[in-house]
């Protein structure tokens, strides 16, 4: 990977994400527009995936030339739906359940990657639905700096797994997602420290249901896509550990823990996310895997042609 390739595939999506996130979270008049702050991170993440893919592989065909090219197409749908989901924020448990079921069913139906049978697609759909339930719940109780930092770590770890499995394009896409989530973290931190609400108090930014929807969809999608095209020592257990890490934020909202706030509380919650991430990466680099990948498979051949 050359510097120019990194700048185009990671830098450009990050810049696009910053254009979307920074005004929505830091400019008071923009931030007060209904649903905008709650959809900014989600739209930025979806756009980051689309722009990174197009910078590296061009405009995807319809129908897709390769199965994994459904990834940017699904991301376009996420971008469109994020504002709708953000407006539904606060609609209660019925709204949360409806979004979880609909998102899981649609994504599980559309994401047809190699080696994914009906059970795999059901698992993906359930993973998306459960992730949204957890992250939407967290978004009502936790500051944006905690969630965005956790997403930055998760997407960066996914980039490492993709690089280790020689999926170069998905490595760059996850790098762009990590950088965009990083922009969200910095913006949320700035909003926390330097911006004030109408009463003169510091204003915390929440990712909203739009951000929760995008994160809950994109993390499992990139995990399943990476697993389907894996070459080398990366196995399903590694993808599962890293991909499930954001749901660890839900543990911090359990009775007895949810009332804790402050910098120390944020550090503990992010540390809980880091535990499965670190375990997954350690298992990869120590060569521990669940099963061996068959040599000469169609998946390996396809990725060797495309990944380089």
Spell out the domain ranges in the chain. Answer: 3-307
Backbone angles phi, psi at 195, to 5 degrees: -105, 150
The token pair that represents 196 in the structure block: 């004030």
The predicted structure's pLDDT at residue 88: 87
Is the per-residue pLDDT at 41 higher than 90?
Answer: yes
CA distance 150 to 156: 10
Percent residues over pLDDT 90 in the chain? 49
Is the per-residue pLDDT at 149 higher than 70?
Answer: yes
Confidence of residue 257 (pLDDT cuts 50, 70, 90): low
CA distance 38 to 28: 14
Helix segments in the chain, DSSP class H: 3-6, 12-26, 28-31, 36-57, 70-87, 93-110, 118-139, 144-164, 168-194, 208-228, 236-243, 263-285, 298-307
Short-list 133, 144, 141, CA closest to 31? 144
């Amino acid at each position: 990977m050359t510097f120019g390739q990194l700048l185009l595939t990671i830098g450009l999506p990050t810049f696009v994400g910053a254009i979307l996130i920074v005004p929505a979270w830091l400019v008071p008049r923009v931030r007060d527009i209904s649903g905008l702050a709650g959809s900014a991170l989600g739209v930025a993440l979806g756009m980051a995936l689309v722009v990174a893919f197009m910078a590296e592989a061009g405009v995807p065909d319809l129908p897709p030339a390769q199965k994994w090219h459904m990834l940017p197409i699904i991301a376009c749908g996420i971008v469109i739906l994020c504002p709708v989901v953000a407006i539904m924020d606060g609609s209660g448990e019925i709204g949360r359940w409806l979004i979880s079921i609909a998102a899981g069913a649609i994504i599980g139906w559309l994401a047809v990657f190699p080696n994914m049978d009906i059970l795999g697609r059901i698992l993906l759909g359930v993973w998306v639905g459960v992730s949204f339930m957890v992250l939407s719940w967290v978004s009502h109780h936790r500051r944006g700096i905690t969630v965005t930092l956790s997403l930055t770590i998760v997407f960066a770890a996914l980039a490492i797994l993709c690089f280790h499995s020689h999926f170069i394009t998905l490595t760059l896409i996850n790098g762009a997602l990590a950088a965009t989530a990083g922009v969200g973290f910095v913006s949320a931190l700035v909003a926390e420290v330097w911006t004030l609400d109408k009463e003169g108090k510091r204003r915390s930014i929440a990712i909203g249901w739009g951000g929760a929807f995008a994160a809950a969809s994109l993390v499992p999608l990139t995990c399943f896509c990476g697993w389907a095209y894996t070459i080398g020592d990366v196995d399903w257990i590694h993808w599962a550990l890293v991909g499930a890490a954001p749901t660890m934020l839900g543990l911090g909202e359990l009775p007895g823990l949810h009332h804790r706030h402050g910098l120390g509380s944020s550090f503990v919650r992010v540390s809980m996310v880091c535990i499965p991430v670190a375990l997954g990466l350690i298992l990869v680099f120590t060569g521990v895997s669940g099963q061996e990948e068959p040599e000469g498979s169609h998946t390996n051949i396809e990725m060797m042609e495309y990944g380089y």
